[in-house]
Chain A
Amino acid sequence: MIPPAIREDFPILSEVCYLDSAATSLSPEPVLAAMAEFEHVYRANVGRGVHRLAQVATQKYWDAHQKVRRFIGAGGGELVFTRNTTEAINMVALGLPWKKGDRVVTTLLEHHSNLLPWMRLRDRQGIDLAIITPGADGTLDPDDFREAVTPGTRLVAVTHASNVLGNLVPVREIGEICRDRGALLLVDGAQSVPHLPVDVGELGCDFLCFSGHKMLGPTGTGVLWMKRPVIEPLLLGGGSVEQVTASGYTLTKGYARYEGGTPNIAGAIGLARAVEYLEAIGMEDARKHEQALTKRMLDGISGIGGVTVYGPRAEADRIGVVSFTVKGLHPHEVAEMLDNEADIMVRSGHHCCMPLVTRLGVPDGTVRASLHCYSNGDDVERLIGAVDGIARGA
C-alpha cells in the first residue's frame, strides 16, 4: 500500500496527469532538498580538498555509492556513477578488450542505447553481432539464447524490461545460459530497477546499467555496476589516478578509477536520496501498486474500439508501460490531443526502438502511457476516458 500523500511530494502532479515516467520520472521534494542542501551548505569538489566542506562533500558522495549499492543488493563488485544508462552501456562496449570475431548477442527488443554500441563494434571492430527477435508481444524465448550464445560468445546484452511493451525478460534464465557458455551478461535495468526489487546476485549478471532519472533521481545520473571491474575507464584525468609522473601514471582503485573529472555531485546526492525514498515506500509495494494500475489501464484501453494494445497481457510478468495505437491517428497526434484536451502527458513515436516498432508493424510507433509509484487510479481513469473520446472522434 502506497500512501496517497506521497503525491504531495511531486508538485507537477497537481498540474497535470503525468504518464510518461518511463521516459523520465518526477523527483520528490526530499530529493530536491538534498540537492539544494549540497548547494547551500557544503558545496565543494570531491576527492580532492582537505577543508571541511570538501570532506563532507566527499563523504556524502561516497555514501551515495553505498546507498545505491544497498538498493540493488551489491555488496561486492564496483558501482560507478554515470550520466545515464546509455553512458553505462557504452562504457562497457568501449572498455572491454575486443578481438575481431568476438561474438555479442543482443535482441531486437532493445532500446537503441543497448543496440547501437554493439552495432558500432560490429562495424568498426568486426564483432560478430547476433540479434535475437522477440515474439509479437515482446517475449524472448530462452531457447533462442541457447542457440545464439555459442561457446565463443563474449557478451550477452539484454534489457530486463521492455520500454515499449513492458514485458519482463527472463534474465535469470539467460544468465544461467551465459554462465554455462562462459559469456558475460549485461543487463539494461533502466525500466526495471525503478519499479521492482532488483538484486544483482539474484539476477546473476556481470554488468547492470540503469538511470537515476527514471527512479525519482535527478537527470544526468546513471549507474554502472560491475561484478568485476574488468573494463578500461572511458575517461582518464583528475580524480582517477593514484600517481602521475612525466613517464606514466597509476590509476586509482574503486569507483574513482571510472569517474575521471568532477562528477555530478549534487546529482549523486539526489540519487541517493531518491533511493532512500524508494526504500521507504518499499519496492515490493511499488511493484504491486503499479501492477494493479497496469491491469486496470490494460483492461480499460483494450476495451476501446479502434484501439490496438501491444505487449503482454496484464497477468504476465510486466511493468507499468502500456503501448497502443488509435486507428486513423498518428501516435504524435494522439499524444498532442491527450495533452491539449486532458492535460495528460504521454510519450509517442518509436521510443528509441525503431527496429522493434518496425517488427511490430507500426513504423510510426505507438502511444505509450507509463506509471510510477506516485501514479494513481485517477490518472488511469482519466487516460481511459480521454483515449475513449479520441477514438470515438477519429
Chain B
Amino acid sequence: MMYRDLPCTKVNPEGTEETTDPVAEEVPVTVTVNGRQVATAMISPEGLEEFALGFLFTEGIIKGREEIDSIQVEKGSVKVITKNLLRVVGPRRTILSGCGGSSSFLDPAKLPKVGSDLTVQAEEISRFMKDLLRSDIHQLTGGVHVVGLCGDGRILSTAYDIGRHNALDRLAGQALIRGIDPGRTWVLSSGRISSEMTRKCLVAGIPLIASRGATTTLAVSLAEKNGLTVIGFVRGGGMNVYTNPWRVTRG
C-alpha cells in the first residue's frame, strides 16, 4: 500500500476531533549492485524493481536493461546483478525522499545533451496536467507526488512516490521495461523541477519536463546548457517556459 490511515487529532477554530487520516508510506530501500550497496532510498514501498532500474539508468550506472542479469526484490532491498560482474559502483549514500537531499555519482559538467527534435502542443501539456493531478492517491494523501510519461499524444505511464525524483526514476524504469524510446517522450510532474529532476531527464534522454510547480536556477542553467525544455507553473491553461521554448507549439 502507498498509504495507511493513521490516528490524528484535527484541530480547528471550533475545537478538536479524534479521527484518522491517510498518510503516505515511507520506507528505506537499499539498492545493491553486484553485492555492493549503491544507495538507500527513502521511498514509497511499491514497484521497487522499476524504481531500481530507473535509478540505475538515470544515475548513469547502467545504459540499458540488457546490462542487467538479475533483479531480486526482497523486503527493504533490491539486489541487482549486472552481466558484467566486475562493474563496481562508488560509495554508498542515502537519498532522502524530500528535496535537496540527493547527491549523485554524475559530474554536472559532463551531462549528456538532448538531441531530440520533439515538439509538444501547449494545449496538450495543460490538458494532460489536469488528467495527471486527478489521480486518487495524490489527492487523497496530499503527500505523494505523481509524474507522468507522455508521448504519442497520450500519457504512457504514471508513477507515484513520496519523492519527485523517485517517481521520475520509476517512470524511467517503466520506459526501460517497456522498451519506450525516451527521446520521443516528455515528463509531467506534480512537484518542483529541481536540478536533480533535470539531471535525470538529461541522462535518460527525455527532452521536456513540465511541472505544476516552480523550478530552480540550477535546474534552468543545466537545462539551458544541455538542450532540455523546462516548463513551470502549468496552471489554468498557462505555463512558464524557461528553456528551449521552440519545443512548445501553439494551435
| A63 CA to B85 CA, complexed, in Å | 15
B69 at the interface (CB under 8 A from A): yes
Q: Which residues of A contact B70 (CB under 8 A)?
A: 59-60, 62-63, 66
Q: Please, what's the 1-or-0 string for A51-90, where 1 marks a CB less than 8 Å from any CB in chain B?
A: 1111110011011001000000000000000000000000
| A37 CA to B81 CA, complexed, in Å | 14
Q: Which of A51, A54, A60 contacts B81 (CB 8 A)?
A: A60
Q: B72, A53: Cβ atoms under 8 Å?
A: no
A67, closest chain B residue (CB): B70
Q: Which of A37, A51, A54, A63 contacts B72 (CB 8 A)?
A: A63
How many residues on chain B are close to A (CB under 8 Å)?
11
| A176 CA to B178 CA, complexed, in Å | 38
A51, closest chain B residue (CB): B35
Q: Which of B35, B69, B86 contacts A55 (CB 8 A)?
A: B35
Known contacts A60-B70, A62-B72, A63-B70, A55 near B85 by CB under 8 Å: no
Q: Which of A37, A53, A63, A66 contacts B35 (CB 8 A)?
A: A53
| A211 CA to B43 CA, complexed, in Å | 43
Q: Which residues of B contact A62 (CB under 8 A)?
A: 70, 72
B56 CB to nearest A CB, Å: 15
A42 at the interface (CB under 8 A from B): yes
Q: Which residues of B contact A316 (CB under 8 A)?
A: none
| A63 CA to B83 CA, complexed, in Å | 13
| A63 CA to B82 CA, complexed, in Å | 12
Interface of A is mostly: helix
Q: A56, B72: Cβ atoms under 8 Å?
A: no
Q: Interface size class for chain A? A: 10 to 19
B45 CB to nearest A CB, Å: 21
| A41 CA to B36 CA, complexed, in Å | 14
Q: Which residues of A contact B81 (CB under 8 A)?
A: 56, 59-60, 63
Q: Which residues of A contact B72 (CB under 8 A)?
A: 59, 62-63
8 Å CB contacts to A: which residues of B48-98? 69-70, 72, 79, 81, 85-86
B161 CB to nearest A CB, Å: 25
B65 CB to nearest A CB, Å: 15
B189 at the interface (CB under 8 A from A): no
Known: A52-B34, A56-B85. 14 other contacts (CB 8 A): A37-B85, A41-B85, A42-B85, A53-B35, A55-B35, A56-B35, A59-B70, A59-B72, A59-B81, A60-B69, A60-B70, A60-B81, A63-B72, A66-B70
List the interface of chain B (C-beta within 8 A of A): 32, 34-36, 69-70, 72, 79, 81, 85-86
List the interface of chain A (C-beta within 8 A of B): 37, 41-42, 51-56, 59-60, 62-63, 66
Q: Which 7 A-B pairs have the closest CB atoms?
A: A52-B35, A55-B35, A63-B70, A56-B35, A41-B85, A59-B72, A59-B79
**26 A–B pairs (Cβ distance < 8 Å), ordered by A:** A41-B85, A42-B85, A51-B35, A52-B34, A52-B36, A53-B35, A54-B35, A55-B32, A55-B35, A56-B34, A56-B81, A56-B85, A59-B35, A59-B70, A59-B72, A59-B79, A59-B81, A60-B69, A60-B70, A60-B81, A62-B70, A62-B72, A63-B69, A63-B70, A63-B72, A66-B70
